């Protein structure tokens, strides 16, 4: 039996749909294959309509297919939120490779597209809301001089932080979400934020490790001043420089071993003003208990730097990292907690220590990193809507109202 094919499909198979006109299939011109018709150039609008679309697997790897601008060299291109790669990993103490983290996270974000990015828990699509979000490219960090690398990173955060955002909803300054790179980049980011905002910044730190260690806790028979800057000491340095709000900061997901034979590392950490939430605490408190502990500690007004070391996730689920520790949170638990703290006043953030050389073939660590960025983006955009009084309430999901009442 001969199958009846609808006319438009018949014409398509025959090459009879014009690529440069919008003729109806019944129009005589539509019967002429488009490659035999006279070529007429399309308008810019028509070119945009035809060719701007990208599938998740197509296009150049920017984060979530966002427009790419080298923001550091483009001061005339304003933005509200910038995704900034920091491919630096020469301050690590164990496995290198996180310099390739920004590239891996961008590739893993490919399925995030603006036409399918509505976040049901928050009631918004962060890519189609008020914020202009750009992929700002990478800081060209030197891999052979850590002192210069720290200078470069700090200069980059100062440059971008002092720009004017496109929307007044963003506040006085654009917000930068960094793709690491190793965790030491947080020192440069905090130096920049203190300079830009003129105040100490609360740190919400998701990590298996304290990262408030005195530099001498990395012993060496060949000590040097430069070796004091590493991915386990950057918060110790930041605290001593007066960058971190003592008494308003939190570690979450800790399960690190301590140095020496006592709790001296915890004593140092307490002096720096951090609340410690261990990985095991989730067994008694549950994700919601972790959320409430964080919100009660930090509140919703103080500027917050949200720093996520991917090793907070168990290495069975996120093996692609430099200092894996067994017994971590699941990816789902981390994401659930991140969703619960959407009321925080996040002024900067990072996702660090993704080292794709140790990841599985399914990119599970990089995928987790990309999802974490999406959740942070959603919360930053939603906080802007809350501040404008335009937030769409989602029953049972909006923590802002609850924590405003509690504070």
Q: Residue 65 annotated as binding?
A: no
Q: Is 183 helix (H, G, I), strand (E, B) or coil?
A: coil
Tell me which residue of 165, 163, 167, 158 sits closest to 139, measured CA to CA: 158
Tokens 């850590």 belong to residue: 146
Q: Residue 89 annotated as binding?
A: no
Q: In this structure, are residues 300 and 345 in contact, taking their beta carbons and an 8 Å threshold?
A: yes
- Residue 313, Ramachandran bin (φ over 0: left; ψ between -120 and 50: alpha; else beta): beta
Token pair, residue 301, equals: 């007004």
Q: In this structure, are residues 189 and 348 in contact, taking their beta carbons and an 8 Å threshold?
A: yes
**Cα–Cα distance between 365 and 353 in angstroms, integer?**
10
Q: How far apart are the first and last CA of the chain?
A: 74
Torsion of CA 103, 143, 234, 228, to 10 degrees: 160
Q: Residue 211 annotated as binding?
A: yes
Q: Residue 281 annotated as binding?
A: no
**Cα–Cα distance between 294 and 250 in angstroms, integer?**
7
Cis peptide before 181 (omega within 30 of 0): yes
Question: Given the DSSP bridges, would you call strands 175-180 and 345-352 parallel, antiparallel or unpaired?
Answer: parallel
Q: Where are the alpha helices (DSSP H) in 23-70?
A: 44-51
Which residue positions form the known binding site?
183, 207, 209, 211, 309, 311
Q: Annotated binding site for Mn(2+), which residues?
A: 183, 207, 209, 211, 309, 311
């Amino acid at each position: 039996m001969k199958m009846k094919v609808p006319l438009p499909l018949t014409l398509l198979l025959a090459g009879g749909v014009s690529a440069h006109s919008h003729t109806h299939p019944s129009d005589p011109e539509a019967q002429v294959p488009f490659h035999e018709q006279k070529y007429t150039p399309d308008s810019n609008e028509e070119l945009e309509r035809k060719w701007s679309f990208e599938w998740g697997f197509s296009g150049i790897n920017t984060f979530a297919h966002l427009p790419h601008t080298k923001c550091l060299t483009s001061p005339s291109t304003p933005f509200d939120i910038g995704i900034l790669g920091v491919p630096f990993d020469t301050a690590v103490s164990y496995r290198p490779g996180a310099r390739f983290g920004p590239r891996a996270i961008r590739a893993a974000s490919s399925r995030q597209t603006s036409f399918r990015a509505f976040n049901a828990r928050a009631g918004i699509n962060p890519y189609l809301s008020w914020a202009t979000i750009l992929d700002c490219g990478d800081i060209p960090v030197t891999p052979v001089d850590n002192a210069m690398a720290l200078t470069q990173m700090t200069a980059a955060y100062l440059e971008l932080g002092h720009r004017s955002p496109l929307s007044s909803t963003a506040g006085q300054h654009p917000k930068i979400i960094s793709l690491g790179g190793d965790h030491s980049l947080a020192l440069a980011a905090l130096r920049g934020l203190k300079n830009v905002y003129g105040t100490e910044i609360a740190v919400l730190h998701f990590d298996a490790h304290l990262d408030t260690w005195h530099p001498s806790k990395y012993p060496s028979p060949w000590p040097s001043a430069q070796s004091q800057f590493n991915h386990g000491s950057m918060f110790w340095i930041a605290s001593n420089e007066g960058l971190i709000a003592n008494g308003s900061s939190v570690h979450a997901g800790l399960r690190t071993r301590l140095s020496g034979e006592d709790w001296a590392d915890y004593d140092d950490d307490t002096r720096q003003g951090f609340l410690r939430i261990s990985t095991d605490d989730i067994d008694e408190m549950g994700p919601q208990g972790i959320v409430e502990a964080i919100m009660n500690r930090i509140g919703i007004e103080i500027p917050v730097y949200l720093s996520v070391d991917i090793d907070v996730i168990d290495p069975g689920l996120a093996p692609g990292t430099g200092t894996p520790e067994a017994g971590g949170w699941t990816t789902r638990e981390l994401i659930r907690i991140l969703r619960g703290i959407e009321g925080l006043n996040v002024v900067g953030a990072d996702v660090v220590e993704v080292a794709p050389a140790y990841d599985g073939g399914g990119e599970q660590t990089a995928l987790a990193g990309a999802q974490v960025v999406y959740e942070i983006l959603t919360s930053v955009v939603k906080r802007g809507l809350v501040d404008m009084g335009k937030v769409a309430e989602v029953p049972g999901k909006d923590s802002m109202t609850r924590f405003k009442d509690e504070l």
